[in-house]
Chains A and B, each alone.
Chain A
């Protein structure tokens, strides 16, 4: 009797194993960035996909607080031709580099040619994901640098939104003097040698109507204009508008200090809005305004575009299934979900005007124009080197270990070899 039960149990187990094997589960492993890329929401998207595609399980892997750390991690995995990761998320500046290294599978064969597949997307994302005519990756969500400000303080001192950096300096000084709070910073920008400092360098440079590179990627640095741009920040430090240790400030520092009510104007990415308005420890909920970045006097506002892309690993063992997942993750529906749930900026133009999106995040109506006018950082297959040269030098100039002219000369001599 006992033996029989045992037999039955064994048979049942065997059948169960056979059944699981027979359904041929495809397991896809996805690297979904760090906390800034909202893995919590990405997981929900994966769950939605699993529900629609019962044969697929999506495993998620996260890590790396900054774009550089994520790049280092992926470099290690992909350099080793490791097939463990099927799909990964990369920064907007990276498709050219990953394509050049042969780490990503061009998606033309799965999703159609670049022109058709990227038609619904904003121009800057459509162009960033095409390398040498091939569809290198698909947009996940957009981002851009915005100017956040304390609406309540500007109203209190009857100040209009500043249009130039000079106007901003004047406005900030007036508020700082009026509030009489020694810890109140006028403006917070990122000066630590991180990816954000590349934008800190480019913003005042671009807004003088200058280009960093031409269409073919060749360096076209206007040295006096670049030095003038860096000098703008130093002047604001001298005026007490930017704090003295700006060369230590990273993106999260700006977010946290603005949230604590210690900053009047803050330059930061679009994702910060959600943090200012939703975080429980935010002291400034409902007091935040957002506007395009000011320009240099006589110039035109320019912003740095960011954002994340989904790519399929060249070493994946299930490329077709991976491409299918990427198609879903880049779809307008997924973009809408991310916009409504996490106020992540959409990459599809139509989503900005979507009724549900406008209801959930009213400022997206105006954000669309900022993103469209945004410019992307230099596209280069040697972007790691380009970024390093710009951010290290910018930080050193802001730490006052180098004069702006020296720093700009150094950037030029370092990049002449890689950007030719």
Chain B
């Protein structure tokens, strides 16, 4: 056997070289996902008796659970609002940063800063911004328009809006970074040629910038959508899902079910469902836009 190892064929060698990576991946990716799916078929509560196999009962329960649908709705809504929101703001920022400033580093730094801040940190900062008594938002509204303080984070709609604003602020800098890289790859000569042909700035934007930028936009959108579906830190720190559970996302519901309620079986079921939702959305992207790119 060892004789063979001394002079392995090309196939064996390839297999041997790949094995460590494969084993590592199996250990840290395949096993946990498999275990998660396995757990989702059990009534497994750490606070209670031994695990009991229940088949698809957890799934049936989830599909009738108003909390699950509420969290799914919130997650999808956050995705639908903040992904395009961050794209628009990010594109604006990228074009601004692409202007020929004499000193570039302060602009780049300002662009990087929100991206470098930890998510939980952003959530806490925005929670203070929107605080009824001490928040800067209410203070500005009072000084400018003499408005009575608004209880931002205590009304379901306003709290949702505030969270979306925080997410857009935080994530548009990542968008801007990717788009800025894309912008710098567009050759100047194209704009010069358009100028000669008498195209307006607006026409240049739609006819040159956007098409040339499309690959970057798609990459940014896919990344952003996947993270938007996993939204957790900002709503947790801003509202903790409140008032009631009107701003609870799927990731938050899974966290509460497994960590706070210790209901690992049901929590796994919810996680599998969230995985399926992500899969559907990503598949949709790859099919619709991936083909063109």
Contact = CB atoms under 8 A, between A and B. Distances in A.
B260 A247 contact: no
A396 B261 contact: no
Contact of A384 (B149, B242, B245, B260): B260
Interface in A377-420: 381-382, 384-385, 388, 392-393, 395-396, 399-402
Nearest to A382: B47
Contacts of A396: 242-244, 246
A125 B262 CA distance: 25
Interface string A274-285: 000000000000
A388 to B, nearest CB: 6
Interface stretch (B92-100, B116-124, B150-158, B172-180): B150-158
Interface in B221-265: 240-246, 256, 259-263
B260 A76 contact: no
B131 interface: yes
B132 A245 contact: yes
B151 A382 contact: no
Contacts of B192: none
Contact of A72 (B47, B154, B260): B260
B243 A401 contact: yes
Interface string A240-260: 000011011000000000000
Given A384-B260, A392-B244, A393-B244, A401 B156 contact: yes
Q: Interface SS of chain A: helix, strand, loop or mixed?
A: helix
B243 A101 contact: no
B132 A401 contact: no
B259 A248 contact: no
B46 interface: yes
A237 to B, nearest CB: 12
Contacts of B155: 399, 401
Contacts of B261: 382, 384-385, 388
Contact of B48 (A75, A100, A245, A247): A100
Contacts of A193: 240-242
Interface string B105-136: 00000000000000000000000000111000
Nearest to A76: B259
A402 B132 contact: no
Nearest to A386: B261
B242 A395 contact: yes
B48 A381 contact: yes
A213 interface: no
A245 B244 CA distance: 15
Contacts of A79: 46
A101 B47 contact: yes
A401 B47 contact: no
Nearest to B46: A101
B243 A75 contact: no
A100 B156 contact: no
Interface of B: 45-48, 131-133, 149, 151, 153-156, 240-246, 256, 259-263
Shortest 6 CB-CB contacts between residues of A and residues of B: A396-B244, A399-B154, A245-B132, A399-B243, A384-B260, A100-B47
30 contacts: A68-B260, A72-B259, A72-B260, A75-B259, A97-B262, A100-B47, A101-B47, A245-B132, A245-B149, A245-B151, A247-B243, A248-B132, A248-B151, A248-B154, A382-B45, A382-B47, A382-B48, A382-B262, A388-B260, A392-B241, A392-B242, A392-B244, A395-B242, A395-B244, A396-B243, A399-B151, A399-B244, A401-B156, A401-B243, A402-B244
Interface of A: 68, 71-72, 75-76, 79, 97, 100-101, 193, 244-245, 247-248, 381-382, 384-385, 388, 392-393, 395-396, 399-402
Given A245-B149, A399-B151, 12 more contacts: A79-B46, A245-B154, A247-B242, A247-B243, A381-B48, A382-B262, A388-B260, A392-B244, A392-B245, A399-B155, A401-B155, A401-B243
